[in-house]
Amino acid sequence: MNSQEWFARATAVMPGGVNSPVRAFKAVGGTPPFIASASGAYLQTVEGRRLIDFISSWGAIIYGHADEAVVKAVTDAVVDGTSFGAPSPGEVEVAELITELVPSIEVVRLVNSGTEATMSAARLARGATGRDVIVKFEGCYHGHADAFLVQAGSGGATFGEPNSPGVPAGTVATTRVVTYNDLAAVEQALTPGDVACVIVEPVAGNMGVVPPAEGFLDGLRSLCDKHGALLIFDEVMTGFRVARGGAQERYGITPDLTCLGKIVAGGAAAAAYGGRADLMRLISPDGGVYQAGTLAGNPIAVAAGLATLRKLRVDDALYSDLERRGSHLQSRLEDALAEAGVLGCVQRVGAMLTVFFGVDTVENWEDAARLDTDAFAQYFQAALDGGVMLPPSAYEAMFLTASHTDEVIDRAADILVAAIHGLAS
Ligand code: KE4
């Protein structure tokens, strides 16, 4: 069967034919290729097409698909059982590694998804402070827990309004939404003294890549301290990607709590939240803030995570290679925009980058909302026709892995440059 046939079967039994909305290609049109396998920097479709992959499982893959160490670790683990529902040594080893690689994390809890990690961290902040309000930023995504499915209300730092049916207004009445990179808006939101936490993507990746403005993260740290709110870094995407110790290492900021996902489990189903011991000891069964999970710390995800973290822990070349290759790809794309006379910009932090069309800079959601999504859809389809799989949304990031060698990057860049020139014609 081909992708169209698989998609017809899928849509008959799954919402949108997918298990996560963005995969349905609604933003870019057409039928999503169904993937038979993946290896290194490549996806292999059910039709046998090899595509250079920049989805990289939405950033979860840092060494490339089917990394030899991860495959061996999972293969060795699975024969001993998939889930014990009881403590196992691997959970301890991965927790110790996380606390070593992310020094602000003194105590950590493994969960099954980034959504669980951020949901739990927010509950912990509320439990620890006795305050109900959380502050988030417009354009930042923290998974699909009710409290985060919120859009800015009318006016500045007002309470949020649900951005999904099924989310009660009451649930988001305690979520304040403010503008990314706007410290004045944050100060206004914190002034009432009722805020439990500020949760932020320290490098925004869910409105496309939007770096923190100079002083923004420092300002968040100071404002949270001044107003008795906790600072939560949602590093589900940036963790172990923009630096070995994540954005907090890259920018030198110490959050109170950190959420991790994706790379922490080497592309398997696990995530984590952790931070100051005095806070994490409030989590059940040490403390009263409840959180649990049947498959939390399962040996398969732990094996994949351990294999990945043990590798990147000693890999001195990884982050310099990712930085160099990301910079080279950015340059080639920026040159193409200029040569083709196409209005756009490329924004990058380390091994995550976004090409924005129709705007010359994106510093917040208001900027991102103005981008030319039609141009992106045309660019996306031309790239796919040429053999490059981009994330199927203008509001996502391209993710490089260690398997995106200089040769792969230049081959992909040739295809993407042609796609950009195609916009000009
Ligand atoms: P999950 O629940 O999808 O594992 O993680 C939620 C999450 C939390 N925080 C950040 C910063 C995230 O980027 C995510 C999930 N990222 C999206 C991609 N932008 C996942 C892709 C998808 O939804 O299919």
pLDDT range class, residue 152, cuts 50, 70, 90 = low
**Ligand 1, closest atom to CA 20?**
24
According to the model, what pLDDT value does residue 156 have? 43
Task: Show the tokens assigned to 9.
Answer: 């079967």
What does the H/E/C string look like for 34-98? CEEEEEECEEEECCCCEEEECCHHHHCCCCCECCHHHHHHHHHHHCCCCCCCCCCHHHHHHHHHH
According to the model, what pLDDT value does residue 171 have? 87
Number of residues assigned to the chain: 425
Q: What is the mean pLDDT of residues 167-196?
A: 95
pLDDT digits (tens, 9 = 90+) for 300-309: 999 999 999 9
Ligand 1 geometric centre to CA of 192 (Å): 30
Known catalytic residue at 136: no
According to the model, what pLDDT value does residue 157 have? 44
**Active-site choice (42, 141, 273, 395):** 141
Pocket residue to mutate for ligand 1, from 22, 26, 56, 58, most atoms within 8 A of Cβ: 58
Q: What is the mean pLDDT of residues 402-421?
A: 98
**DSSP letter, residue 162:** E
d(CA 355, CA 371): 10
d(CA 252, CA 51): 37
Query: CB within 6 Å of ligand 1 — which residues?
Result: 20, 22, 58, 113-115, 118, 141-143, 201, 205-206, 234, 236-237, 261, 271, 396
Q: Is the pLDDT of residue 281 over 80?
A: yes
- Domains recognised in the chain with CATH numbers: 3-66+317-423 (3.90.1150.10), 68-314 (3.40.640.10)
Ligand 1 geometric centre to CA of 114 (Å): 6
d(CA 275, CA 108): 7
Q: Mean pLDDT across the chain, nearest whole number?
A: 96
pLDDT digits (tens, 9 = 90+) for 353-401: 999 999 999 999 999 999 999 999 999 999 999 999 999 999 999 999 9
Ligand 1 geometric centre to CA of 261 (Å): 8
Q: What is the mean pLDDT of residues 258-283?
A: 98
What are φ and ψ of residue 68, in 5° steps? -55, -40
d(CA 114, CA 59): 12
Q: What is the mean pLDDT of residues 232-254?
A: 98
- Count of other CB atoms within 10 angstroms of residue 114: 27
According to the model, what pLDDT value does residue 162 have? 83
Q: What is the mean pLDDT of residues 154-159?
A: 51
**Ligand 1, closest atom to CA 114?**
5
**Active-site choice (63, 251, 262, 395):** 262
d(CA 246, CA 268): 19
According to the model, what pLDDT value does residue 34 have? 98
Q: Please report where in the chains the tokens 């402070």 appear, as a residue.
A: 129
Q: Is the pLDDT of residue 158 over 60?
A: no
Known catalytic residue at 226: no
Q: What is the mean pLDDT of residues 142-149?
A: 95
- Is 350:243 a contact under the CB 8 Å cutoff? yes
pTM: 0.98
**Active-site choice (53, 67, 182, 234):** 234
Ligand 1 geometric centre to CA of 60 (Å): 10
| Dihedral sign computed on CA atoms, order 83, 88, 90, 94 | positive
Sheet holding 271-275, edge to edge: 107-111, 271-275, 257-260, 230-235, 195-200, 133-137, 175-178
Ligand 1 geometric centre to CA of 342 (Å): 30
Residue 33 three-state SS: coil
Q: Is the pLDDT of residue 154 over 80?
A: no
pLDDT range class, residue 151, cuts 50, 70, 90 = confident
